[in-house]
Amino acid sequence: MAATAKEKANVKVNGSDRSDFNGMMEVEYSYLFECLRKNKEDYIYLSDLINALEAVGIRENDPRLKLDPAELDIAPQVVLDYEKFKHILKHSFGGLIKDAIQGNLIIPDFASFCREITEIYELTNKNKNGNVATYIPQLGRVDPDKYAISICTVSGQQFSIGDSNEDFCIQSICKPINYCMVLEEHGEDIVHQHVGREPSGIGFNGLVLNENSLPHNPMINAGAIMTCSMVKPEMDMADRFEYVLNFWNKITGNQNSLGFNNSVYLSEKETADRNFALGYYMKEKGAFPENTNLLSTLEFYFQCCSIQTDTNAMAIAAATLANSGICPITNERAMENNTVKNCLSLMNSCGMYDFSGEFAFTIGLPAKSGVAGGLMLVIPNLMGIAIWSPKLDKSGNSVKGIEFSKELVKRYNFHIYDSLTLNNPDKKDPRLKRNEAKIDGAISLNWAASEGNLLEVQHIYARGIDINMADYDGRTALHLAASEGHEHIIAYLIDKGVNLNPRDRWGNTPLQDAYKGNHDATILLLEANHALK
């Protein structure tokens, strides 16, 4: 019989395990392969690899995986022998597959987290309050009951629920991104010679400037018109717009998910008296950079507001901000850390219209909303969230978006100052515990087995933990799974060659535990595999 991957891995090359450019060693590849192998075959199924990745939120079209699209179409039949599996691991982005299979992504138990998000979605979906914006007639025609949530973590784990594949207009959510673009282009000092960074205390389209005759900040209309005047002013209009789309493409992981809503654009332009007034007022005060063409600046601002996309893509953009400017699913840097820091600071203080102070206090996260019902929420170093639901409250924020945010920070310690009240038993932390690796392997394996958590058992197995390890009472994972009647765990452990008859300090075998618990199906399974009583 051919040597198993594990046996092959045990043959040391030149007396030592070789590690590749991902820092992975042969023995690690073999554990990952073993983890996915079934029935002692010499191969694994590509579909099992994809399922293992999807279980932790890594989508099969994640560009970092570099999976062959032709093979993906027929994935259930495609088999990977050890060498082919290794090839895929080596060519995917540094350690991604390893971290996914070992449960080392930023949210290790992604399935539980997504279940909770689904619960919050369903709860908040019951709230039918609010009204769709009508001041731009075209926006008033959208279905008011649409609701979508998408999440992307800084590890690139994605989850979506609801109408997440439907496009909506980004509207004011273009404001923070345009601000990032001009910071990258001109630097902070020049940009802030033309726009302030103080909340205005008045409505988003207020006809008022600060004491220096500048717009208060880039998150309100006057400030956004100002930043628009600074986006590649030397280019012609077509190239400027393309430049903006390219930037959005970069921060959304090059998924080509951006569009333009021409009807909204035309409708907005027809009803933009206030924005024209703001523009002329700033022109009269000499606020614009020299040689600014006011009419094309306004035109460009309306175009930016009329870009459309879905929550899937917007969550990736938010995650790029959460990840200090590096897009999590391409690993490409789209902007400098400092740009992100400045942008998030202003989103935190000015991103939610006249509810900004309240939002900073209760939710405690940088966010930006738009009148089409979009809301982009950033949890620094953890994830980006995009919400879309068109009904707005009196401040102009999505009703469901606000409700969702409130419920989220009620359950999780995501408010930026929750770090000061650590160990609050009412709030969960889904993040990877950095000291998890130090926890004794046997304890975590036994715990996962007793809980019936197969994914966690697989993750621990993939880390190379010995499945026969016992705790100080001689209890093994098999004992605990048998005591609780978790056949799926037992079947997995048997497939991995577990010792069927370990005895704990009281002399009990797993089969005896199954009898004690009256778990008939477990008894049958163990006896079919010749376990001893």
**Which residues does the annotation place in the binding site for substrate?**
172, 221, 268, 275, 301, 353, 371
User: Which one, 253 or 370, has the nearer CB to ligand GLU?
Assistant: 370
**Residue of closest CB approach to ligand GLU:** 172
Angle 299-305-309 from CA coordinates, rounded to 5°? 135
Q: Are strands 79-81 and 374-379 parallel, antiparallel or unpaired?
A: unpaired
Task: Characterize 421-459 residue by residue with b for buried, 16 or more Cβ atoms within 10 angstroms of its Cβ, and e for exposed.
Answer: eeeeeebeebebeeeeeeeebbebbbbbbbebbbbbbbb
User: Which one, 164 or 172, has the nearer CB to ligand GLU?
Assistant: 172
Q: How far is CA 377 from CA 83, 289, 404, in A?
A: 42, 31, 11
Q: Are strands 79-81 and 43-45 parallel, antiparallel or unpaired?
A: antiparallel
Asked if 148 and 311 touch (Cβ cutoff 8 Å), the reply is yes
Closest contact distance (angstroms) between CB of 376 and ligand GLU is: 12
Which of 312, 308, 321 has the alpha carbon at shortest distance from 377? 321
User: In this structure, what token pair is assigned to residue 120?
Assistant: 């919050």
User: Which one, 118 or 205, has the nearer CB to ligand GLU?
Assistant: 205
Closest contact distance (angstroms) between CB of 5 and ligand GLU is: 55
Closest contact distance (angstroms) between CB of 72 and ligand GLU is: 38
Closest contact distance (angstroms) between CB of 268 and ligand GLU is: 5
Closest contact distance (angstroms) between CB of 105 and ligand GLU is: 34
User: Which one, 275 or 356, has the nearer CB to ligand GLU?
Assistant: 275
- Round to whole Å and give the CA distance between 96 and 237: 40
- Round to whole Å and give the CA distance between 167 and 247: 18
């909204």: which residue's tokens? 264
User: Which one, 18 or 394, has the nearer CB to ligand GLU?
Assistant: 394
Closest contact distance (angstroms) between CB of 278 and ligand GLU is: 9
Closest contact distance (angstroms) between CB of 199 and ligand GLU is: 15
Closest contact distance (angstroms) between CB of 315 and ligand GLU is: 19
Task: Characterize 143-156 residue by residue with b for buried, 16 or more Cβ atoms within 10 angstroms of its Cβ, and e for exposed.
Answer: ebebbbbbbbbbbb
Binding site residues, ligand GLU, CB under 6 A: 171-172, 204-205, 221, 268, 275, 305, 370-371
For CA atoms 88, 91, 94, 96, the dihedral sign is negative
Phi and psi at residue 377, in whole multiples of 5°?
-120, 135
User: Which one, 278 or 498, has the nearer CB to ligand GLU?
Assistant: 278
Which residues share a beta bridge with 149?
161, 387
Which of 375, 434, 433 has the alpha carbon at shortest distance from 408? 375
Closest contact distance (angstroms) between CB of 275 and ligand GLU is: 5
**Binding-site residue positions:** 172, 221, 268, 275, 301, 353, 371
Axis crossing angle, helix 294-305 with helix 221-230, rounded to the nearest 10: 110
User: Which one, 146 or 431, has the nearer CB to ligand GLU?
Assistant: 146
Total Cβ atoms within 10 A of residue 418: 15
- Round to whole Å and give the CA distance between 413 and 515: 42
For CA atoms 195, 200, 204, 207, the dihedral sign is negative
User: Which one, 370 or 485, has the nearer CB to ligand GLU?
Assistant: 370
- Round to whole Å and give the CA distance between 460 and 331: 27
User: Which one, 49 or 230, has the nearer CB to ligand GLU?
Assistant: 230
Element counts in the chain: helices (H) and strands (E): 24, 10
Closest contact distance (angstroms) between CB of 267 and ligand GLU is: 10
User: In this structure, what token pair is assigned to residue 493?
Assistant: 């452990």
Closest contact distance (angstroms) between CB of 354 and ligand GLU is: 11
User: In this structure, what token pair is assigned to residue 289?
Assistant: 């950079």
Asked if 33 and 109 touch (Cβ cutoff 8 Å), the reply is no
User: Which one, 179 or 204, has the nearer CB to ligand GLU?
Assistant: 204
User: Which one, 172 or 323, has the nearer CB to ligand GLU?
Assistant: 172
Give start and end residues of each alpha helix (H) in 67-131: 69-73, 82-91, 96-102, 110-124
